[in-house]
Amino acid sequence: MKFTYKSYIQLALIVAISAFVLRGNNAWGQKPLVLGVSTDVSNIVVRKNASKAIAAYLSTKLNRKIEVVLPEKNKQLIEMLQDKKVDIAFLNTFGYILTSAEANITPIAVISSNGSTPTSYKSCIIKNRSVNKINSINDIKKKEVAANISFKFVNPTSTSGHLIPRLYFNSLGLNYTESHFKEVTFGNNHQNTIMQIKQNKADLGACSYEDLQKLIQQGKLKKEDLKVLWVSKPIVNGPIAVRKDLDANTQKTLTEAFLKMADEAPQLQAKVKKIWHAKGDKPYFVKAQDVWYNPIREMANSIEELILILSYYTD
């Protein structure tokens, strides 16, 4: 059979296209990557929808399917990472600190407001203005006063709405909050917790300082409705983490996908804000560093203390 230059070019194109198609089929034929989500900025339905949209973007970058799971508790996500049932994880700050002590993971990216430094947030302790017996943190320390006060945290795995305030109380010598106050309950999310304190369903509580300010800016709350008794130092947002044994190329592609997301997928900006404490109109991602989380680790005597503080709620 005689080959002409034209037929040779046609054959070469067929071979190239076939190879491309086969590579694509092989990629999509791989076992799907699993994304576990445990952040607590918004409710579970909102988090699920936002996570699926971000997973779809990551799938196009990896040319590989990504499935989303939302474990109810951090303990479940830790076990899934250890058992290699989850490959990528969206973690809040406490979730990352706890998980990094138990599972072989590495942080790859963290939310940023300016594209150069990680976004941070703060915890605060607030009170209903009608509670006259407590006007400062020193008043909280008085057992005879606190014994008649109800306190509300956000949820068991919230860093700003539970972990940091607990560690702060520990530093004041209030090592077991439940025995100090008349009642300790949870409001489920930051907005609910804040509004319940405003509505006299609790006397005092803990929440994200940023969420408190957001409600004031939105006109849902007046500044004089509540009094801020304490504000924490800045807390770095929780990162996106992956299992360390995930192949290097996948880790690199995932990292680059997050770092370029603000420019390449601007339609996801609203979704990003549903998962992380994102400030400004255009949330970015920067490469994460584990050392950014050491200040919280150092607030506890050991990682075991962090685990024990919340073991009753997270097990």
pLDDT for position 120: 92
Confidence band, pLDDT 50/70/90 cuts, at residue 38 = confident
Q: What percent of the chain has pLDDT over 70?
A: 84
In a domain, 130, yes or no: yes
Query: What's the confidence (pLDDT) of residue 17?
Result: 46
- Whether 228 and 129 map to the same domain: the answer is yes
Q: Of the candidates 183, 201, 232, which is a domain's last residue?
A: 232
Higher pLDDT, 19 or 81: 81
Instruction: Please report whether residue 37 resides in a domain.
Output: yes
Mean pLDDT of the chain: 86
Residues 192 and 251 both lie in one domain: no
Of 202, 232, 262, at which residue does a domain stop? 232
Considering its fold, how many domains does the chain have in total? Answer: 2
Averaged pLDDT, 213-237: 94
- Residue 276, in any domain of the structure: yes
Residue 216's domain spans which residues? Answer: 123-232
Read off the CATH number of the domain in which 151 is found: 3.40.190.10
- 147 shares a domain with 112: no
What is the structure's pLDDT at 29?
57
**Top-ranked range on mean pLDDT: pick from 24-28, 74-78, 159-163:** 159-163
Confidence at residue 15, expressed as pLDDT on a 0 to 100 scale: 44
Indicate if 110 and 144 belong to the same structural domain. Answer: no
pLDDT band at 67 (very low <50, low <70, confident <90, very high): very high
Percentage with pLDDT > 90 across the chain = 59
Query: Do 102 and 244 fall into the same domain?
Result: yes
Mean pLDDT of 305-310: 65
User: Looking at the structure, do residues 142 and 289 belong to the same domain, yes or no?
Assistant: no
**294 in the same domain as 154:** no
User: Is residue 79 situated within a structural domain?
Assistant: yes
Structure token pair of residue 219: 């006109």
56 domain residue, yes or no: yes
**pLDDT at residue 26 above 60?**
no
Q: Is residue 291 part of a domain?
A: yes
Shared domain for 221 and 141, answered yes or no, is yes
pTM for the model stands at: 0.76
Residues 127 and 228 in one domain: yes
Packed helices 44-62 and 248-259: angle between N→C axes, nearest 10 degrees: 120
pLDDT attached to residue 176: 80
Residue 309 within any structural domain of the chain: no
Compute the distance between CA of residue 87 and CA of residue 2 in angstroms, rounded to an integer: 53
Query: Do 110 and 173 have their domain in common?
Result: no
The per-residue pLDDT for 101 is 85
Residue that terminates a domain, selected from 184, 212, 232: 232
Q: What is the pLDDT of residue 228?
A: 97
93 shares its domain with 170 = no
pLDDT in tens, 236-255: 999 999 999 999 999 999 99
Q: Say yes or no: 203 and 263 in one domain.
A: no
Average pLDDT (180-189) is 93
For residue range 145-160, list pLDDT tens digits in order: 999 999 999 988 788 9
Structural domain contains residue 24: no
